Amino acid sequence: MNVEQVYKDANALLEGHFLLASGNHSARYLQSAKVLEYPKKAAELTDALAKMIRNYGIEVDTVCAPALGGVLAGYELARSLDVRSIFVEKKEGGMELRRGFEIKKGEKIIICEDIITTGGSALKAAQAIEALGGEVVAFASLANRGFCKRVGGDNDVKPACKLPNDIPLFSLDDFTFEMYRPEECPLCKGGSTAIKPGSKS
Ligand code: ZN
């Protein structure tokens, strides 16, 4: 599967001049919500992800996503793996399980995101699950921004990656974009203005 083409076809791989959450600028931006707009397409992506996870040979009881960004990908991955789907939600300083969701001691859980950038939300989700006695057996995402190392990927892990390196990360592809500090941004020097994509615009 050509994952980059799937993102392009869904207008989920934006090209332009973007202000990222980190404050840096970039000429490309991944809007994974767009690639999940069509459930059949989403299912193709998570079927491919589920295949990677099964081939690796780990046992999974449940998929847990950090809300809001990971919920659709997590739900579809759970369907592809034929396991249960739950999500955790933001609280002060971390994430927590709400809405009557429960996990058993030793339950084998995959934390699933739409995109792993540095993995901060995924790590907080994992901490919430482990605090309740669950076992985090893997991380998964549709796209990996190249800070963390995915199983089978060519990139080395970068210092910014927050995920533990003893737990595998499964992603369909690496999307490593050039990022610029605003004062060094060639797009700014070209006279254009960075716009803020994503959930806050
Ligand atoms: Zn710029």
Q: What is the CATH number of the domain that holds 82?
A: 3.40.50.2020
What is the C-alpha to C-alpha distance for residues 71 and 88, in angstroms, rounded to an integer?
Answer: 9
Residue 16 belongs to some domain of the structure: no
Residue 147 belongs to some domain of the structure: yes
Nearest Cα to Cα of residue 139 among 65, 39, 47:
65
* pTM (predicted TM-score): 0.91
Residue 24 belongs to some domain of the structure: no
Amino acid letter, residue 31: Q
Residue 141 belongs to some domain of the structure: yes
Residue 28 belongs to some domain of the structure: no
Domain that holds residue 74: 39-175
Q: Give the H or E element holding residue 73.
A: helix 71-81
* Number of separate domains in the chain: 1
Run means of pLDDT, 10 residues per run, the chain, 201 residues: 90 92 89 91 95 96 95 98 98 94 97 94 96 98 94 92 96 92 95 83 47
Residue 148 · residue 169 · CB < 8 Å: yes
Cα–ligand 1 centroid distance for 25 (angstroms): 5
Cα–ligand 1 centroid distance for 125 (angstroms): 32
Residue 57 belongs to some domain of the structure: yes
Cα–ligand 1 centroid distance for 106 (angstroms): 47
Residue 149 belongs to some domain of the structure: yes
Q: Tens digits of per-residue pLDDT, 50-98?
A: 999 999 999 999 999 999 989 999 999 999 999 999 999 999 989 999 9
